[in-house]
Amino acid sequence: MSPVEANCPACGAPIRFAIGSSIVVVCPNCRSVVARGDRSLEDLGKVAALADTGSPLSVGTKGKYKGAQFELTGRAQFAHEAGGLWDEWYASFPGDRWGWIAEAQGRTYITFARHLPPSAALPPWDSTELGHRFTIPGVGVLVVGEIGEAKAKSAEGEIPFKLTPGESLRYIDLTGQSGKFATLDYSGDEPLVYLGEEVTLDALGISLKVADEREPTHVGALQVNCPQCGGALDLKAPDVTERVACPYCNSLLDCTRGKLQFLEALKPGKFKPSIPLGAVGALDGKSYTTIGFVVRHVTIERIDYYWNEYLLYGAGLGFRWLVESDHQWSFVSNVPAGEVDVQGRIASYGGKHFRLFQSATALVDYVSGEFYWKVHVGEQAVADDYVHAPQSLSRETTFVIGDTASAAPDYPAAAQIAAQLLRARGEVNWSRGDYLTPETVAAAFKLPPLPPQQGIAPNQPFSYSGVYPVWGALLAAAMISFFMLSLIRPTHNLVDKTYSLVPSAGIKPTAVADETRPASADGAPSTDEISAIPAETNPANENSAADTAGQSTNIQFEPQTIAIDGHRGLRIQIDASIDNSWLAVEGDLFNEETGLDQPFTVELEYYHGSDSDGLWSEGNTSNDAYLTALPSGKYTLRLESLWKRSDRPISMRVRIDEIGPRFLYLLSVILLISIVPIIVAIAHYRFEKSRWEESEFSPYGS
């Protein structure tokens, strides 16, 4: 279609359909919604004046999405049944293609109309459960986050569908992983599907600088008077405020009908906020104003648990919350429902697993200040809290009164409240809370020192968790150093000799080694045969083998010189063919130049036999000793052996090696650097157990 110029059927002012595929245009003169038909224009009725929501967008703004240029041609404002407005902008793309850009509570979404195959059955609006997972072909699994009904309140510019002022719009919003978003529109005979994603202005090719070049119209603050007592009320966010509680007469007032209207009288406040309304603070480097104060509680095992919530508002940032419970604080922001995966008592989000801590019905006890939804005392929500310190995840499910129905079965609190809930539609809101100390909150809002925290908060971090990464780094460094030294300094053999010990019965030996035989042809180590030199014969037990049994034989070996490289430990290993016997080897390494003398002793014993219990054995035929690193140089090795005399010769192998770092040293280092982490881990366990004592879902038992 080509651009069409005509006159408004209501006031006669000129109007223009600049986009060939647009359906209606809002007359800028009388605010009538004019639709073009086949032959004539149709006046669909007048819309209210647009509420300034502080949006950085405007009709005529141009942008670029995934390489395609677009221009914003119109906007509609819809009123949420729980209070509040959202903007829906209409972007004209080349080829008569339209995109829908929605802004709600500081988030921006872009969607496009999509035709699904007949096999993709859409869930019915009046029987779909909140939290239901729905698979859309080509998109994946999306989660039902909201089932609602809104009304068209206002509009401007050109719009690509027939918008009737005041008409109801039934919808289901779904979210998925990686920002995926979908809206199912049930306002017509057949549901319409709009698929897209959550985006930023940068992703739409719109910089804040360009968006701010338009004439600012946002009302920063507004002072009005309470219709009950005449007290002055300073509204901080008048464009989006739905409810305000008068601090002078405790009246709850409605802000949605032009003038403030009285709704109900609140009970005198017995709750005093720690942060005064109107206080400005900086969190995460952004400025927020405290505009609302709510007191809520849950009842668990007949005990009421209260906490305070502070509504924060930042121009261009939307809303955030500060939650105070037992003087423990959390900074709370919204999370898309589709980003959270709940399996039993575990909610997964952002690569972390959050464990269910509490599930109950939360009630509003007291309100003060202004709010973006129709808050009231007695308001209920199903609250499920999950924790992974220093963060928490909270799921709040609110229901709109309707036909009797049960809550979704995957809600942990469903069994307790199903009989109490009357609902046909509602909304699931997920939020993430980041733990803050009282000192951080006091500094952010320039307050006097706040009361110290009491007990352990569900998302309070353990103060000494920083020990663990340091311990891990030290552990890795120790292991890497050990293996590097093992490669750089491999084992180096200094001595490898085998001796044959041949005692003679009936003599007192003072033996020396015979001449060393050369190594055998197969490369086996050489053997020194030791024979006893005759000395005095024992006159009392001459040649009596029986009398000499059990006596010991001592032999000194011929010294030998070895060169030690130094900077490495030494291992002396002795292997002997003892059988039901024992052997002790004493020796030393002597440096004649420096006079350094390093002694050592290696003892072996091996016994075996049988008794009523069967075969038994004890001891070993091999043993070793370790010496610390000696200075480099030439050393004289002196050996002396003492063993239980027997009629059989004994083969004894002596091996001395320069070795790299011992594994025992590594274990010693690991034990040393683990002392503090072990103490911290014990304290951490006690900390976690104390945290979960307040939870009916404690992993530590009742």
The residue assigned the tokens 């027939």 is 162
- CA proximity to 564, closest of 596, 529, 539, 535: 596
pLDDT digits (tens, 9 = 90+) for 223-278: 666 765 656 666 666 555 666 767 656 665 666 555 555 445 556 567 889 999 98
- CA proximity to 173, closest of 151, 198, 194, 146: 146
- CA proximity to 381, closest of 397, 358, 404: 397
pLDDT digits (tens, 9 = 90+) for 2-31: 678 888 988 989 998 888 788 899 999 999
* Residue 145 near residue 125 (C-beta atoms within 8 A): no
For the cut 60, the answer to whether the pLDDT of residue 623 exceeds it is yes
The CA-based diameter of the chain, rounded to the nearest angstrom, is 149
CA distance 417 to 605: 76
Instruction: Tell me, letter by letter, the H, E, C secondary structure of 218-263.
Output: CCCCEEEECCCCCCEEEECCCCCCCEEECCCCCEEEECCCCCCEEE
Of all residues in the chain, what percent carry a pLDDT higher than 70?
A: 79
pLDDT digits (tens, 9 = 90+) for 508-550: 433 334 333 333 334 334 444 443 333 333 333 333 333 334 4
If DSSP codes are grouped into helix, strand and coil, which group holds residue 468? helix
Beta strands in 346-424 (DSSP E): 346-349, 352-371, 380-388, 391-400
CB-side exposure of 272: number of CA atoms within 13 Å?
0
What one-character-per-residue DSSP string does 405-460 give?
Answer: -PPPTTSTTHHHHGGG-B-SEEEEEEEEEEEE-HHHHHHHTT-SPPPPP-S--TTP
CA distance 639 to 501: 13
User: Model's pTM, two decimal places?
Assistant: 0.68
> Dihedral of the CA atoms 261, 312, 393, 681 (nearest 10)?
-140
CB-side exposure of 397: number of CA atoms within 13 Å?
30
CA distance 359 to 298: 9
pLDDT score at 177: 85
CA distance 342 to 360: 17
Q: Between the CA of residue 42 and those of 8, 32, 37, 371, what are the distances in Å? A: 9, 10, 7, 38
CA distance 161 to 21: 9
For residue 382, give both structure tokens: 């199903």
pLDDT digits (tens, 9 = 90+) for 545-603: 333 344 677 788 889 999 998 778 899 999 999 999 999 999 999 998 999 999 999 99
Name the band, by pLDDT with cuts 50, 70 and 90, for residue 401.
low
pLDDT score at 594: 93
* Residue 368 near residue 292 (C-beta atoms within 8 A): yes
If DSSP codes are grouped into helix, strand and coil, which group holds residue 64? strand
For residue 312, give both structure tokens: 């924060």
> Mean per-residue pLDDT for 387-416?
65
pLDDT digits (tens, 9 = 90+) for 158-192: 999 888 898 989 999 999 888 899 999 998 888 89
- CA proximity to 310, closest of 339, 274, 270, 286: 274
